[in-house]
Amino acid sequence: MATVQKLENEIKNVEKELIKVDAEMEKWRTKQRQLHERKTELKKALNKLKSDTLAKVDWAGIKYEWSEEVEKMLKDVFKISSFRPKQLSAINSTLSRQHTIVVMPTGAGKSLCYQLPALVEPGITIVVSPLVSLMEDQVRSLKNKEINAMLMTSTSPKEETNAALNALKDIKTPIKLLYVTPERLAKSKRFMANLQKCFSNGRLQRIAIDEVHCCSHWGHDFRPDYKYLGILSNMFPGVPLLGLTATATAHVLNDVQKMLNIPGCLIIKSTFNRPNLFYKILEKPTSNDECLNILEKLLKHRYKNESGIIYTNSIKDAEDVTNGLRQKGLKVGCYHANMEAEARSKVHIKWHENYYQAIVATIAFGMGIDKPDVRFVIHHTISKSMENYYQESGRAGRDGLRGECVTLYRMQDIFKVSAMVFSSVGSMDFLYGMVKYCLNGHLCRRELIAKHFDEDWGDSDCNKMCDVCISNSNVTKEINLESHCQTLTSIIDNAAKQDTKLTAQKLLDAWFLKGPVPLRHKGKEPPFSRAFAEDVVAYLLVEGYLTEDFHYTAYSTVVYLKKGPNMEAINDQNFTLKMPIRKYTNFELDRPAPWDNVIVTEKPDTLKRKSDVLKKAKKSKTIIIDD
């Protein structure tokens, strides 16, 4: 008969067994996780190999049965004398029925890559586009070229929707391109049924997906509706998909291929270097008035009579800066998401027609800006990622003439942005990428941008078109941060003992022996300015020696600083940490920018466009042709 003792012993034995089983299971779970990770890595490597192999084909160099027709259409219909880099490769690959993703910077001419093939073959090209105004612009411009194109959105009048739906079924329709929003494409049963009909009639030529990065959570513009597009490759076998984007990071491209179900597809990537853009980081003053003074000088002198954009990171800032500049007699318009569509459109038009010298906008002013003569893009606050920065600053100089991209940077803005973005996945890494770009004072800014887009910069030349290269300094000075890390650690630990959290400003105060006495450290003041100390704090943050700690209050999010995971290393005997020292280079606010330093980004054989550029560059003295 079981005794209490016996049962208790057995329970103990079972518990011991369970511990063993748990340990064993944990081992297998780890093994399972590792295998999954390895499988994902291998799949990625396989897809990359497939993409790389396809990319080795000389798509532009081969003569195809359609080559003559393509050349003829280019000249006769589009009135363009020659292709820009990678356009012909993209056209030939999609006409060869390859699933292709085209990655080109803004304004490089992605639309031609699907508009021209649409005319070479019978049937219809579907163009999925996220923005109605963009679609309207394109359809208008196609109609001007006497190309039959239509659009279908949720707000299209009934007759237009019916006409578009009929065009899909009608084998005699003259329609060559049909633009649709992603939700129309996948959510409207009627549309899908007619598209199926178009496919079975052999008339579904290809599906172009503009702004294809919207498929990816990692993109700067994720749109949930894009996820429906994953069904297309299975539903319409043999119909090539052509994704187009200006976003080139490996993460995004990988995601897009996965979402569209076209792993290992051909990726055609053109360079992200915009040789005509000058990049500059400008020290942002602490007071709003001083900041407005800088903007005033820039608009009244450096950018006198020139057109541009000032990006802010909040609606309030956009309104304040607009009002501030208006009080100084400048003609600027304000643009943000809280305005009615009609008011936004009015501001856009006034800017387009150069009534406003500048538009002061949040990032709501984004896709579809096609003003060629934007001479300056000023970031009043840093962007939330390099990706965003490239897109936003890239709106300058679309005509190939000099454009200036000026970013006002100061440490405090990091926290303004992080408090807004910290809850979304990966956002802090994106933001820190942007901060690293601002803190950089020794590498060419173009090189950093190229690295961000996984592009090989090699020995390419910036032509002194960034503040780092113009400074002419080849020597990088560094500062040792070990002792400063010790001091900051002691301040943070001491505050924690007193149950006090430190914002960046409080941390700096304590470091400079200011603020509440109990929080100050026992040593000396740092041997440099507060502005330099801000750089040190920002550097330690982006390198993981400090970390942000977010706390909600009723009205806002407060950002405190605490020790980051890498701060542990200060206890190692061999710990060293050096920070490259940067200086803000000279930048004349009171004199016109050197507009005569013109860089023509076109290939020399694009004569028409080059001559356009030359005509516009009345003031030009130096023309550098980029071959």
Ligand X SMILES: Nc1ncnc2c1ncn2[C@@H]1O[C@H](COP(=O)(O)OP(=O)(O)OP(=O)(O)O)[C@@H](O)[C@H]1O
Contact footprint for ligand X (CB under 6 A): 80, 83-84, 87, 104, 106-112, 246, 606, 609
Dist. CA 197–CA 191, nearest whole Å: 10
> Which residue lies nearer to ligand X by CB, 81 or 314?
81
| Minimum distance of ligand X from residue 110's CB (angstroms) | 4
Of 111 and 249, CB closest to ligand X: 111
Alpha-carbon span 454 to 52, nearest angstrom: 14
CB of 83 to ligand X, least distance (A): 5
- DSSP secondary structure code for residue 621 in this structure: S
Query: What's the CA gap between 159 and 169, in Å, rounded?
Result: 16
Give 424's DSSP letter. S
Query: Closest CB to ligand X among 55 and 80?
Result: 80
- Of the pair 131, 540, the CB lying nearest ligand X is at 131
Q: ∠ at Cα 227 (165, 382), nearest 5°?
A: 115
H helices within 242-354, ranges in order?
Answer: 250-259, 288-297, 315-327, 341-352
Q: How far is the CB of 321 from ligand X (least distance, A)?
A: 25
Least distance from ligand X to the Cβ atom of residue 302, Å = 25
Percent of the chain as helix, strand, coil, to the nearest 5: 45, 15, 40
Residue indicated by tokens 């049909």? 178
Closest separation in Å from C-beta 112 to ligand X: 5
* Biggest CA pair distance of the chain: 107
Q: What is the DSSP letter of 300?
A: I
Q: Cα separation of 598 and 622, whole Å?
A: 6
How near is the Cβ of 606 to ligand X at its closest, in Å? 5
Gap between the terminal Cα atoms of the chain: 95
CB-wise, 112 or 266, nearer to ligand X?
112
Distance in Å, CB of 269 to ligand X, minimum? 13
The CB-nearest residue to ligand X is 109
Closest approach, Cβ 234 to ligand X, in A, equals 28
Q: By C-beta, is 95 or 325 nearer to ligand X?
A: 95
Q: Which is nearer to ligand X, 90 or 165 (CB)?
A: 90
Q: State the CB neighbour count (10 A cutoff) for residue 502.
A: 22
Nearer to ligand X, 246 or 330 (CB): 246
CA distances from 232 to 238, 260, 367, 548 (A): 10, 7, 25, 42
The tokens describing 550, both together, are 């977010």
